[in-house]
């Protein structure tokens, strides 16, 4: 299939969402709906994707630019300044881009479950010259609200009857439903889009009228039936957003289970569409993978873990952990209640334990930050042990400073390393120290006040307090 174009309609108000944001910006498993449709179109072989924006145009345009500015995909936004219907939106897109050839599929921006395979087949349905247009049809369990398609004996579309125009008998007997998406021969679409009129109660230009227009020119118009009705479901409310999110969750989790991933409770694991998980990894309840996450084999994920744009190698244990833009190599142990902030890189066999926060730091091979510590802007060598309550003091109120910790260093509990800091290989830092100077290799560093004991002081102190009552 060559020169296929997808026009994605994303200009609507989405009033039923009751939102201050564009409807298509709302997320399914952490990914904006408009990106689900655009990514499926790209994967389905569309060389060009045109997003028609209108309401909240800047917001939708920003989503597209952030996602596709550096990609090979040709994605562009065209603004429909006057929202005069779907036919008008397509006309605006054609005039702005000059598209007048090849298959053109018109998709709705709130159709997150449509797959790349379906879009490819949809575009191909008008690429062989047998049909000038095809309408995307489904057979949902409850057809109420959908336009009904009446097919002629030769399989072409005879009529499209809107729900409000159906007789009770038609509503009961006609199950082929129009999902509101169309594929066109691009040349014929460009030649006749100007014939769509607005002689209706709303005064709008409706794209479905193109079917009758093409038929009037002697062109064949057919139905493209999608066997999985869920691919044609749209989002118009918060309830539908939740329903489609659950469908997407189940579909992804079923695919992962087919690939050898274990889910303790699939209904409580939310894995984004751009994430991968290796064989024999176990996903515990309340695990969330958002953005592009890649987890290797034989890992334990969760419970109560949220990874965003994070990669993990094989054999990792990631328990009650939040990780954002982090990289974990093999056999890394995190949590419970660990927080890995952007720029964290944990090498093979390293550990971030209970109530540990790490930011923009490298934790060396086999090094451990077991509990109650903050490590920021630090490069740590291999075999390091950080005692409980240790902190690299990286911020002076204006600038961030770096700390370098060598190999095989032992840091005692409740230690403050004031950056810029340097601790050499094999050094030992005594518990309770405040380290403000470089520590040479193989040295003992003690940076604390001398202990002083006053005999009998405690008894006299409490006697005096009790006498004050």
Q: Cite the annotated binding site by residue number.
A: 9-12, 23, 80, 85-86, 110, 147, 162, 178, 236, 341, 359, 374, 385, 388, 394-395, 413, 431, 448
For the chain, the first-to-last Cα distance in angstroms comes to: 92
Angle between helices 116-124 and 33-43 (to 10 degrees): 60
Let me know if 421 is exposed, middle or buried by CB neighbors in 10 A (0-12, 13-18, 19+).
buried
Burial of 40 (0-12, 13-18, 19+ CB in 10 A): buried
Per DSSP, 419 falls in state: S
Which residue numbers belong to the known binding site for UDP-N-acetyl-alpha-D-glucosamine? 9-12, 23, 80, 85-86, 147, 162, 178, 236, 341, 359, 374, 385
Cβ neighbours for 459, distance < 8 A, ≥ 6 positions apart: none
Residues in the chain: 469
Query: Cα 82 to chain center, whole Å?
Result: 31
Per the CB < 8 A criterion, the answer to whether 394 and 416 are in contact is no
- Among 143, 213, 201, 219, smallest CA distance to 175 is for 143
Asked if 401 and 417 count as a contact pair (C-beta separation under 8 A), the reply is no
Catalytic residue among 21, 345, 371, 399: 371
Cα angle vertex 202, ends 197, 206, to 5°?
40
Q: Is 88 a catalytic residue?
A: no
Residue 255 CA to residue 291 CA, distance in Å, equals 18
Backbone φ, ψ for residue 254 (5° rounding):
-65, -40
> Are the C-beta atoms of residues 346 and 367 closer than 8 Å to each other?
no
Read off the tokens for 232: 């044609």
Q: How far apart are CA 43 and CA 184, in angstroms?
A: 19
Helices (H), 228-368: 238-258
Positions annotated as catalytic residues are 371
């Amino acid at each position: 299939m060559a020169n296929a174009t997808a026009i994605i309609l994303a200009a609507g108000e989405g009033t039923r969402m009751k939102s201050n944001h564009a409807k298509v910006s709302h997320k399914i498993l952490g990914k904006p709906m408009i990106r689900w449709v655009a990514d499926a179109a790209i994967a389905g072989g569309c060389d060009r994707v045109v997003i028609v924006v209108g309401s909240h145009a800047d917001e939708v345009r920003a989503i597209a630019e952030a996602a596709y500015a550096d990609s090979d995909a040709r994605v562009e936004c065209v603004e429909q300044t006057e929202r005069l219907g779907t036919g008008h939106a397509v006309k605006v897109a054609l005039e702005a881009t000059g598209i007048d050839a090849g298959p053109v599929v018109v998709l709705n921006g709130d159709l997150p479950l449509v797959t790349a395979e379906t879009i490819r087949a949809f575009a191909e349905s008008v690429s062989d010259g047998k049909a000038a247009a095809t309408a995307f049809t489904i057979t949902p369990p409850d057809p109420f609200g959908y336009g009904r398609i009446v097919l002629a004996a030769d399989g072409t579309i005879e009529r499209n009857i809107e729900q409000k125009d159906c007789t009770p008998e038609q509503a009961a007997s006609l199950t082929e439903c129009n999902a509101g998406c169309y594929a066109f021969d691009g040349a014929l679409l460009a030649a006749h889009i100007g014939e769509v009129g607005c002689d209706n109660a709303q005064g709008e230009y409706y794209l479905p009228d193109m079917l009758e227009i093409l038929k009037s020119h002697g062109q064949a118009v057919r139905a493209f039936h999608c066997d999985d009705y869920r691919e044609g479901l749209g989002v118009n409310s918060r309830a539908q957003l939740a329903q489609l999110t659950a469908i997407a969750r189940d579909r992804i989790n079923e695919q992962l289970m087919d690939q050898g991933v274990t889910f303790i409770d699939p209904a409580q694991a939310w894995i984004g569409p751009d994430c991968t998980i290796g064989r024999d990894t176990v996903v515990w309840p309340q695990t969330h993978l958002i953005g592009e996450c890649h987890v290797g084999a034989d890992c334990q994920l969760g419970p109560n873990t949220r990874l965003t744009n994070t990669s993990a190698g094989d054999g990792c244990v990631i328990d009650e952990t939040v990780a954002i833009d982090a990289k974990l190599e093999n056999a890394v142990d995190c949590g419970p209640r660990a927080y890995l902030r952007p720029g964290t890189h944990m090498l093979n066999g390293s550990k971030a334990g209970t109530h540990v926060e790490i930011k923009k730091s490298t934790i060396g091979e086999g090094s451990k930050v077991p509990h109650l510590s903050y490590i920021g802007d630090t490069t740590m060598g291999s075999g390091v042990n950080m005692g409980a309550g240790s902190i690299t003091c990286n911020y002076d109120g204006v600038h961030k400073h770096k700390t370098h910790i060598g190999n095989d260093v032992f840091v005692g509990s409740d230690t403050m390393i004031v950056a810029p800091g340097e601790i050499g290989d094999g050094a030992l830092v005594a518990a309770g120290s405040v380290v403000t100077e470089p520590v040479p290799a193989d040295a003992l560093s003690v940076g604390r006040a001398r202990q002083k004991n006053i005999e009998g002081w405690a008894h006299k102190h409490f006697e005096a307090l009790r006498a004050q009552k």
